[in-house]
Amino acid sequence: MFSPLFMATIKPFAALKPKPELAHRICELPYDVMSSEEARRMAEGNPLSFLHVSKPEIDLPPGTNPCAAEVYATGRKNFDQLIAQGALRQEDQPCFYLYRQIMGDHSQTGLVAVAGCQEYLDGAIKKHEFTRPDKEDDRVRHMEALNAQTGPCPRSTGLWQPGRPQRPTWTSPARTGCGIPRGRSGIGTASGRSNPGSPGSRASTLPTAIIAAPPRHACSRPATAPGTAPGSLSSDELVRKLEGVFDVTRGTNGTPTQKHDLRLFLNGTWHTLKFRPELTATQSPIDALDVSLLQNHVLAPLLGIDDPRTSERISFVGGIRGISELEKLVNNGGHACAFSMFPTSIEDLMTIADAGGIMPPKSTWFEPKLRDAMFCHLLS
């Protein structure tokens, strides 16, 4: 029995795309995988960088609130300028787009189209993870300012197994910046002959990249790892309380090797934390996730972090940055401790989504990332 995901309607759209010879200078990683300072350094000397649109605070004085009205206005101005100078051009007819990405020995090909927002709300398109409200509000304001969506949302399916795409329209080689690895991307275009319309305006659809379901773990390269502060607990008290939840071993590395194997960085030392078997013996696939077990048995009862979506006492680090980033955050005094977790498997993600469940925030980290500015969707 197939998930209702496969019955959702997708349609071609006339994307606003980079001029092929400028694509490698325009397209950038998503706004939320880097800080404002990192984005400022990455875009330095490149007025075509889409970071001037997706993180426009980089063009304002350091310390500017990224959610200030002037930031969104600057993003719109920069977006309009890229269009006016011909760096971004809209297709003259609706199209489907083939999008191939290569990162290391991993390759994936997706179909970029638009899907209906109402189908997403109704559950025909599955949801997989909660997000933080402040991030949601920021992107809504950004879309309203630009009157466009600037990057597709990834969707995995278990049915579509594409063959090798034809010669791409253009390719974008790897670039590096601020320690964030980048893959290589290529796109191809196929004319869409079906009716591109949908109920209501174009704002009732959203661009999406439909990617064939990969083998287990293939897209969950290492999982997001949260860092937090123990609050009023001393380090020794925290470890003693953790011994009621885990088998604790002091002195190890920060890389977990399997599910239910976590690592804690505290006082300059990594600890191995293995959940006690009685805590993992649950029939609920959501409750069995390491991120759920950590929330339910550590973050909430021991550290007082009841809602990781809204708490200011917890932050999250993308898995691609590795454990060195966690060590840096703790050693610099910004956080008292950090947890590293084994990747959530694709199998677990799809099982939970098919059952109608939604995973806790920051349960996954997917690589390679879809680039911003490759397929902008104009809302009117």
Q: What is the pLDDT of residue 179?
A: 43
Same domain for 229 and 211? no
Across the chain, which has 380 residues, the per-10-residue mean pLDDT values are 54 94 93 90 96 97 94 97 97 92 84 85 75 81 93 55 51 48 45 40 74 52 45 84 94 90 93 95 90 92 87 82 88 88 84 82 79 91
In this structure, what is the dihedral angle of CA atoms 365, 379, 133, 9, given to the nearest 10 degrees?
-60
State how far the alpha carbon of 35 is from the alpha carbons of 20, 55, 217, 316, 363, in Å: 28, 9, 27, 12, 20
Q: Are residues 235 and 338 in the same domain?
A: yes
16 shares its domain with 86: yes
Same domain as 199, residue 229: no
pTM beyond 0.85: the answer is no
The pLDDT, as a whole number, for residue 172 is: 55
Residues 92 and 208 both lie in one domain? yes
Q: Does residue 167 lie within any of the structural domains?
A: yes
Sequence length of the chain is: 380
Domain with 316, as residue range(s), is 225-342
Cα–chain center distance at 59: 24
88 and 195 part of one domain: yes
Domain annotation covers residue 61: yes
Same domain, 105 and 26: yes
Give yes or no: residues 203 and 237 share one domain: no
Using CA atoms, how far apart are residues 276 and 261, in angstroms rounded to an integer? Answer: 10
Shared-domain flag, residues 177 and 40: yes
Q: Within a domain: residue 357?
A: no
Based on the domain organization, do 100 and 140 belong to the same domain? yes
Give yes or no: residues 40 and 127 share one domain: yes
Q: CA torsion sign, 308 to 314 to 319 to 320?
A: positive
